Structure 1
Amino acid sequence: MIKRNMVIASAFFCFSWGIAQQYGGMWIPTELNEKEMKDMGMKISAKDIFNTQKPSIKDAVVQFNGGCTAEIISPKGLLLTNHHCGYGQIQAHSTVQNDLLSNGFWAKNMGTELPNPGLTVDFIIDIKEVTGQILEGTESLTEPDLSKKIAANIEIYKNSQKIQPYQSVSVKSMYYGNKYYAYVIETYKDVRLVGAPPQSIGKFGSDTDNWVWPRHTGDFSMFRIYADKNNKPAEYSKDNIPYVPKHYLPVSIKDKNENDFTFVFGFPGRTTEYLPAIAVEKIMTEIDPARIAVRDVALKTLDEKMRTDDATRIKYASKYASVANYWKKWIGEAEGLKKSNAVQKKITYEQSLMAKNPELKTTLDELNKLYKDQAPYALNNAYYSEVLRNAETLMLANIYSNYIASVEAGRMDTKALSALKERLTAFYKDYSAELDAKVTAKLVALYANKTAPQFLPAGFEKYKNESQNMTEMEEISKSSIITGRAEVNGASLSQDIEKAFSNPDKLIKTLKKDPVYQLFMSMKDTYTKNTDPQFTSLQTKIDGLQKKYMAQQMTADKNRKFFPDANSTLRVTYGKIKGSTPKDAVSYDYQTHLAGVMEKYVPGDYEFDVPKKLIDLYSKKDFGNYKDKTGDVPVGFTATNHTTGGNSGSPALDANGNLVGLNFDRQWEGTMSDINYDPRFSRNIMVDTKYILFIIDKFADSKWLIDEMKVVK
């Protein structure tokens, strides 16, 4: 019986990897798996996707604000990305009196488009493999000399490149340091808000529907790139003109069918597809549950206040969405890893590798030992990092502790101080000390209860009682300059940064006596002494072995075509439009429609309200050219493209390179694809271009924007 189960597991493993190779993968656009793409239905060539000699699709795809992806859809630099990617900019233009989050925004002409200081988009001009140059002279080196030599080689390479003032060169490690690639990047800094639906469309379903399917969210917003008179990057100026792209994407409103070929082009953030089984097990059973527990407490506390106070809702809207995003993702990831039997699949794969190369057993035995040794430190790292991120008073205290260290070390120059002041000014604008006192009280109690005694500061057990913490944290907050409720140099930090920083010596002296600062420093000092050195030392050893393990995998497994893990560089993934059957007796279609929006409609609800105009359009069936064969407007669809964070806003393209959708999420049952792609469950979720154009045209009365586009009917 045991042998039979092992055979079945092995057979399933081989089947899964075979399918994953067909549909999965995040490919460097200069190294596309072109034959398989064409076998699956692609009509264009790899050169049409990425070409440095003539315009290609890569010239229409940009990294948006360093995180998301966006694409150009008109000859006048019109940019499409997700609503959640532009959320911070929409929020920045919002007030209680002029709430663009709730009401939406649509420029009536280019003159009314809104500037966004600090917002940038990056084009990838060229990609080259530079492994030889970067690893030159490193053959006999070990850490830390190895990292120093690689860093020096990277600087030598970057300095040798002839680029324009508005360009930069970035060198990225791939395959855990076994290969290196150089990217020439061109950055545009004048990017203006053109249009955004109200969040009742752009964020419809909000947190309840986040990461799940069926989905009915019109998750899109529109911007425009501006350039100088020579079409080159420039700082914001009223004299700038719309950017003329080398290529822009035609927008298709053709009907979609199951098994149609699609590919997604964008900047996926981070995946770890090649970890050993022990690492996956630790993530599934220890690290993800710790992260989830911290964010669960923070989100519930914020939500209670946001639902009853509009000013707080606007202040915390973007932050809440950011925290909730990965909270829910980690829940799905942990469950998906269990459901897809990821650990056993990894063990089976490791056994197959060891059969081909016995030396792999030594590598894997060492990795197993290192991960087990690191486990208690890794767990404390997870709790500590998440508490600091979500208890804003502690996060602020951390910022101020770094400021003090920089001043005392003589490293705080005028530029760094200016950047710090700008950061703090922006932070306090959307901060509630009273609310965060509650969040901090609960998170400190969680930390005290969940952390092993050897990782806690002396006397920290007194914080285990949440109710007592609530009273104490409120009192601490009232007397703290960090929360902005007390003054230094005659000013509150939350109201007058310049005045508060006017006497640095007094500010630092006051900070060191601040009760929030002292609480934070007790945690930081203990973490720095009892956790960080051990965690970091073991991680350095793990990283070195992972590099070796990666190289051994690539050498031993000749039947597998490898792609590098995502690292926020430009990638192509491809698949087919498909529904799914994630659970027994549960089957999902690949397409949702406007009828589903109306089915979910709850008048006045925070997540499921629907604008009256959209209801009227639906009631009248005033769909224009945007209905499909069902007679309804399609809203979203799923496919087997292998995506992750950073792919938000990425164009979903058809076999001919036309835009058919806008990637914005993944199906919850498949979020473990960052670690273990499973073709049964892994689906990316996209807004249909028909719905996007329908909203722009019929709902927003902004047909002037559609007139800019090349619409494929």
Structure 2
Amino acid sequence: MPIPNRLALLALTLLSFLPSARADEGMWLPLLLKQLNEADMRQKGLKLMAEDIYSVNKGSLKDAVVQFGGGCTGEIISDQGLLLTNHHCGYSSIQSHSSVEKDYLTNGYWAMSPSEELPNQGLTATFIVRMEDVTKQVLQDVPATGIAEDARERLVQQHSQQVAQAAVQGTHYRAFVRPMFGGNEYYLFVTEVFEDVRLVGAPPSSIGKFGGDTDNWMWPRHTGDFSLFRIYAGPDNKPAPYSPQNKPFKPRHHLPISLSGIKPGDFTLVFGFPGRTNEYLTSWGVDEIYSLSDPAKVKVRDTKLQILDADMKASDKVRIQYAAKYASLANYWKKWQGEMRGLKRLDAVTRKQEQEARFQQWSTQGDAARRAAYAGLLPEMEKNYRAERDVSLARDYVTEAALGIELMLYANSLLPLADAKNTADRTAAVQKARNGVNGFFKNYSKPTDQKVAAALLALYAENTPPTLLPDYVKALQKQYAGKNGWTAYAEQLYSKSKLTTPESATAVLDEVAKGNVTALTNDPAYQLASAIVTNYRANILPPYQIANDNITLLSRTYIAGLRQMQTDKKFYPDANSTLRVAYGQVAGYEPRDGVQYAYYTTLDGIMEKADPTNPDFQVPARLAELYQKKDYGQYAVDGTVPVAFIATNHTTGGNSGSPVINGRGELIGTNFDRNWEGTMSDIMFDPNQVRNITLDVRYMLFVVDKYAGATRLIQEMTLVGKPEAEGKPAKEGKMKKAKERKMKQKA
């Protein structure tokens, strides 16, 4: 159903605020949908059966969903392997093809013919062929108690590898095993990984990143967050390395695209690879994130982002070099801020403590076996979290601050060169380092990194618990004491180090290859990185691992106890980058007293936000022209173009690019964000506030077709539904099902 006229719209908008519009918690394994979720999904509006979503025996929705690269999701939207994902998921690939002369980040890129589709080294698209519960095989001969966590993990990994290898022996498939419920269950995932994935289209950043960091994690949203790629395969339609002779991949299923639109209460299904959640944390774990880890990481990233922002605005070269890095840093910097606000608003620590009190009562009132298994668990959990706090903070400052300096990160990668035990090992390590020189320095600015180093070293030295700070750094503190001490040190460091340019770094590697290892070990950047990392490995990592292993073991037992205590509750495993289904309904929400948000946004809102003086809100001339002329084609709805909508699905990082599918199995949008009020949903879920943000598929089609003129791409998609645009029936795209019906009628 298209967005209705203005009077009807008011009624529907009010409907979106009814108390029944509550978010739907859960990231469910597709394999288990029939027994756990099918009835509830159909009650909410699903017209399909569970087997239409996940099936091994026939093409199903899962066969149109891929893990895009290592951390996003994508969906197949044509029978020629055309892949849709987010602009921010394709950003690093777009950036890799960009230069000052060919600035595809700013101007966008559109392949107007197959020959213009650009290959991307290292980019993969991974399908899930099947999944299977292999808990019995993995835990066979693994003692339930009386074994150290690291020893247990070694056995589990050994068994998991055996199970995975046996599952794909003699095939081109790959496989892995992942733990669920803290290691109480294990599942096998058989995959098909395609290595030839080419860039097909990307809007300019003024569309793909419209709103920028200002709007990131916010609603209402007007971002055209999409990019298009294509999977190529060998002559047998199987994965193959890049070759000009490869052909577009023919999928088992591709998603038809609905032009019928959405309304409040409509069923929505998100299918993707959510990265990581921690829904079963105890109160001590939540408190560590809320009061210790998130504040530290936000502080460091805030400092770094300010420096990068200034240098990127001053230089187009630096802007292109750091575009993807900046976006990656800024994304979770803002997310963590929203997470802290949400946890505070929910009083999450207190709520977890209340749950723990109920658990403790249940565990002590049961039989002897229950008491033995669970009664002493929570006090032991608290003890380990207390022991972990300082080393956890020190760990954050190493990873975020010390190794947030690119020179330190690069020097750290060279540490193995000095540790090589023989000439052969050293030769291999040097060659690997040489291969990485161009890749590192392509997107590196020495002056920018020097500023970052001065600021982040100060934070690292000042905020790391003193007993966990390397002596080398303590000596520098004394040597460079004063207001501009770390700035002065950074100037000396970057003037003396040979690891700051590709030429001098290569010269150092050449010396190491000859056996002159001191050319590296005498370098001041190497010495600083070595001091920090050596101290980390000796004094921070061991106690952290001990406490963390204990917490992992205790958490596994705690989750098992929670499931025993609440037998009437359906539990879902935490996200761990495996294929999941989340489902819900289209709905607005009330972020705070007196404020109501509608469920959708339109092109009108883009023009209302337009500000040529603000880089986050600049509108390309072509888009403004189409708006002025109302030249919307078949994508018009009530005199405008829908841009984004929100629904109650439970999502997290990794769901970026996930298809959002209606009850008939048709694509209605691409998930790209959560609302800021709902970012704490990785830890604690609030059904009244959590909303996933989706790019309306009709805005994507409008940009591809009317803005870019890449109509050839529209023609290979399967468009379904006949919305009315400006009072006239819309032309449909490629309508395979309709054609098949006509053929049958003729026959």
Partner residue, 1:396: 410
Q: Contact conserved, 1:623 with 1:694, CA < 8 A, in 2?
A: yes
CA–CA distance in 1 between the matches of 2:424 and 2:652?
A: 37
Q: Which residue of 1 aligns with 2:491?
A: 474
Shift of 1:357: 2.6
Pick closer, same or farther for the CA change 1:466–1:98 going to 2, 3 Å: farther
Name the CA distance, whole Å, in 2 between partners of 1:649 and 1:466: 46
Q: Residue 442 of structure 1 aligns to which amino acid in structure 2? A: A
Distance 1:256 1:149 in 2: 50
2:669 paired residue number: 661
1:365 and 1:163 map into 2 onto residues whose CA distance is 46
Structure 1: which 5+ residue stretches go unaligned? 1-17, 486-490
Partner residue of 2:308? 302
Find the counterpart in structure 2 of residue 548 from structure 1.
Answer: 557
Over 3 Å counting, the alpha-carbon distance change for 1:415 and 1:114 in structure 2 is: farther
**Counterpart selection for 1:525 from 521, 531, 534:** 534
Matched positions, count: 686
Q: Distance in 2 between matches of 1:409 and 1:368?
A: 46
The separation in 1 between residues aligned to 2:446 and 2:120, in whole angstroms, is 27
The 1:337/1:424 distance shift into structure 2, 3 A limit, reads farther
Closer, same or farther in 2 for the Cα pair 1:414/1:660, shift >3 Å? farther
Shift in Å, 1:255? 2.2
Does residue 1:621 correspond to 2:630, yes or no? yes
Provide structure 2 residue ranges, at least 5 long, that are not aligned to the other structure.
1-18, 365-370, 722-747
Distance 1:357 1:199, change over 3 A: same
Kindly state the Cα deviation for residue 505 of structure 1 after the two structures are TM-superposed: 4.8
Q: Is the 2:681–2:690 contact (alpha carbons within 8 Å) kept by the matching residues of 1? A: yes
Partner SS state of residue 294, structure 2: helix
- 1:461 equivalent to 2:470? Answer no
Quick check: 1:454–1:530 contact (8 Å CA) kept in 2? Answer: no
Task: Give, in whole Å, the separation in 1 of the partners of 2:530 and 2:512.
Answer: 22
Is residue 19–residue 679 contact of structure 1 (8 Å, CA) maintained in 2? no
**Distance in 2 between residues matched to 1:236 and 1:262, nearest whole Å:** 36
Q: Does 1:436 align with 2:449?
A: yes
Equivalent residue number for residue 426 of structure 1? 439
For 2:41, which of 37, 40, 45 is the aligned residue?
37
Q: Select 1:366's aligned residue among 352, 362, 380.
A: 380
Distance change (3 Å), C-alpha of 1:161 and 1:415 = farther
For the Cα contact (< 8 Å) 1:593–1:634, is it kept in 2?
Answer: yes
Partner of 1:376: 390
Equivalent in the alignment of 1:534: 543
The answer to whether the 8 A contact 2:172-2:192 is kept is yes
Sequence identity of aligned pairs in percent?
Answer: 45
Structure 2 counterpart of 1:217: 223
Of 564, 575, 578, the residue aligned with 1:566 is: 575
Distance 1:50 1:164, change over 3 A: farther
Q: How does 1:579-594 map to 2 (within 5 A)?
A: 579-594=588-603
- What's the offset of the Cα at 1:508? 2.9
1:412 and 1:246 mapped to 2: Cα distance?
45
User: Residue 136 of structure 1: which of 140, 151, 154 is its match?
Assistant: 140
SS at match of 1:160: helix
Q: Aligned in 2, Cα 1:417/1:56: closer, same or farther, shift over 3 Å? A: farther
User: Matched residues in 1 for 2:303 and 2:20: separation?
Assistant: 39
C-alpha distance 39-600 of structure 1, shift in aligned 2 (>3 A): same
- State the one-letter code of the partner of 2:113: N
Q: What does residue 260 of structure 1 align with?
A: 266
Q: Distance in 2 between matches of 1:426 and 1:579?
A: 45
* CA distance, structure 2, for counterparts of residue 562 and residue 572 of structure 1: 14
> Match of 1:11?
none
Equivalent position to 1:450, from 448, 463, 478: 463
Equivalent in 114, 119, 127 of residue 110 of structure 1: 114
> Structure 2 length normalisation: TM-score?
0.89
Q: How far did residue 409 of structure 1 move?
A: 6.8
Q: CA deviation at 1:520?
A: 2.1
SS at match of 1:124: strand
Deviation at 1:502, TM superposition (A): 6.4
Cα distance, 1:607 vs. partner?
1.5
> CA-to-partner distance for each residue in 1:373-423, whole Å, 9 max, x for gaps?
211111111112111342111111211113433x23778477765554333
Partner of 2:129: 125
State the partner residue of 2:83: 79
2:183 is the alignment partner of 1:169:
no
Give the aligned partner of residue 715 of structure 2: 707
CA–CA distance in structure 2, aligned partners of residues 132 and 19 of structure 1: 41
* Coordinate RMSD, CA, aligned: 2.0
Q: Is the 8 A contact 1:267 1:647 kept in 2?
A: yes
Distance in 2, matches of 1:562 and 1:248, equals: 30
Aligned position for 1:7:
none
Distance in structure 2 (CA, Å) of the matches to 1:333 and 1:117: 35
Out of 589, 610, 632, the residue aligned to residue 640 of structure 2 is 632
SS at 1:238's partner residue? coil
Instruction: Find the aligned partners of 2:415 and 2:20 in 1 and give their Cα distance.
Output: 50
What code does the residue aligned with 1:471 have? A
TM-score (norm 1): 0.93
**3-state SS, counterpart of residue 280 of structure 2:** coil
Q: Secondary structure at the match of 2:30?
A: coil
- Displacement after TM superposition at 1:531 (Å): 1.9
- SS in structure 1 of the partner of residue 187 of structure 2: strand
1:445–1:466 Cα contact (<8 Å) kept: no
